[in-house]
Amino acid sequence: MEKRSEVKKQPVGHSKQGEFIRCMEEKAEGLASKTSKGGFTKDKTLDSILNVEMVKEKSAEEITQIWNQYFSAKDTVYAVIPADKFDLMWKRAQKCPSFLYALPRKEGYEFFVGQWSGTELHFTSLINVQTQGETAPSQLVLYHYPDLQKEKGIVLMTAEMDSKFLVVQDAQCLANQVQLFYATDRSDTYGLVETFNHRSSDFKYMAVIAELEQSGLGRELRPGQASDKS
């Protein structure tokens, strides 16, 4: 996942990709009338964000630069995922469409349920699911776009979140966990996802926390504690 702090911001007017970013800005202005209940965009397509036809002539590296530069100035989560990694995530999502994620808080953890719906991944807090069931509103949606996967070898991702409940750092942690659990090479790690979906009585939520702590993601949000990641 691209981290916002790692992206070098360039003035749009001085960028070779400026024309495309302006197109993306114009597209974004038209989304206000297309939001669904809860403020999330309904049927959010890649073409609603950028001119797909225009970027088809660009290389994967140039498209990655456009995507990162455009979203680096926005208060959201985004990524450019290699096609083979997304393939693995997607195949596993078909077999195991939901999982329980742990978000580090000041004291302990808050749990979120992530549920795949097509290429969208919806998150809501476990307490919402317990109290509202299937009507629990999404608090974060990750949108994955495989439109350029075959031609360019990349899948674009961005997100929308309910800022009343989550900040970008929270959303980034949850998005990073999707790759941690769904794109891992470690059978034990993905095994937690399989257990949650197919043998729920054997699922242990503390195992999720253990994986999170081992990966370093569980420490990144701890107030006053420096991350050991470079």
- Say how far apart CA 221 and CA 195 lie, in whole Å: 27
Give Cα separations from 136 to 14, 101, 116 (angstroms): 45, 16, 15
Element housing 34 (H / E): none
d(CA 206, CA 216): 15
**Higher pLDDT, residue 195 or 229:** 195
Give the whole-angstrom CA distance, residue 54 versus residue 80: 18
What's the mean per-residue pLDDT of the chain? 81
pLDDT grade for 12, boundaries at 50, 70 and 90: very low
The three-state secondary structure class of 114 is: strand
The pLDDT confidence band at residue 43, using thresholds 50, 70 and 90, is low
Q: How far is CA 131 from CA 113, 122, 135, 136, in A?
A: 13, 17, 9, 8
**For residue 109, is pLDDT > 80?**
yes
More confident residue, 212 or 16: 212
What does the pLDDT read at residue 218? 65
What residue segments make up the domains of the chain, in order of their start?
4-220
pTM more than 0.75? yes
Can you tell me the distance from the alpha carbon of 147 to that of 145, in angstroms, rounded to the nearest whole number?
A: 6
Instruction: Identify whether the C-beta of residue 158 lies closer than 8 Å to the C-beta of residue 75.
Output: no
For the cut 70, the answer to whether the pLDDT of residue 29 exceeds it is no
Report pLDDT for 134.
78
The single residue listed with the structure tokens 């990709």 is: 17
Look at residue 36 and tell me whether its pLDDT is greater than 90: no
For the chain, how are helix, strand and coil distributed in percent, rounded to 5?
Answer: 50, 20, 30
- The predicted structure's pLDDT at residue 227: 35
Q: Considering only residues 51 and 185, tell me which one the structure prediction assigns the higher pLDDT.
A: 185
pLDDT at 45: 86
Percentage of the chain exceeding pLDDT 70 = 76
- Please compute the mean of the pLDDT values over residues 128-152 and round it to a whole number: 91
